[in-house]
Copies of this chain bind each other. A is one copy, B any other.
């Protein structure tokens, strides 16, 4: 029937893994959510573990495409990244599961993307003053932290985050 079966499986698996993690997810449930049957999962992705890896890579790519880095406007970038996280809580959960259940495994996409960000930042700000990698680390730490400990009022959080990054940059 539909030629998009692998896509449907990936999406269903993303939901299931985001909710329950790798160990808690059930292959039968993924098949049911995808409106497909189990053998298709094993035919396309081999195993539960491989499916998990594919899902995480797939979603990371979507994140990196959706929130382009802006070395000139770091506070704006931080806010946009936080907003994306706020709008896609299941992606945040998926990345946390990955960090916990695949300890020490770095994702190729995010590593190379990070290197590009540092280079762009250095090009804009020059080599003097704060090292670019440490500045970027502080900005991302703020975004991650704010994402994990969401304040009650998003408007305040947005303003606070923007202000905090502005102070870091200035």
**A residues touching B (Cβ–Cβ < 8 Å)?**
20-24, 93, 96-97, 99-101, 133-134, 137-138, 140-146, 148-149, 151, 156-157, 160, 164, 167-168
Interface SS of chain A: helix
Q: How far is the CA of A165 from the CA of B142 in the complex (A)?
A: 11
Q: Is the CB of B134 within 8 A of A151?
A: yes
Copies of this chain: 2
Q: How far is the CA of A144 from the CA of B146 in the complex (A)?
A: 8
**The one of B22, B96, B133, B168 that contacts A96, using a Cβ cutoff of 8 Å:** B96
Q: How far is the CA of A151 from the CA of B55 in the complex (A)?
A: 27
A-B contact pairs, 6 of them (CB 8 A): A21-B101, A24-B101, A100-B100, A137-B160, A145-B145, A164-B164
Q: How far is the CA of A114 from the CA of B148 in the complex (A)?
A: 15
Given A21-B21, A21-B101: A144 and B148 interface contact (C-beta under 8 Å): yes
Q: How far is the CA of A133 from the CA of B153 in the complex (A)?
A: 11
Q: Is the CB of B156 within 8 A of A148?
A: no
Q: How far is the CA of A151 from the CA of B134 in the complex (A)?
A: 7
Q: Is the CB of A21 within 8 A of B140?
A: no
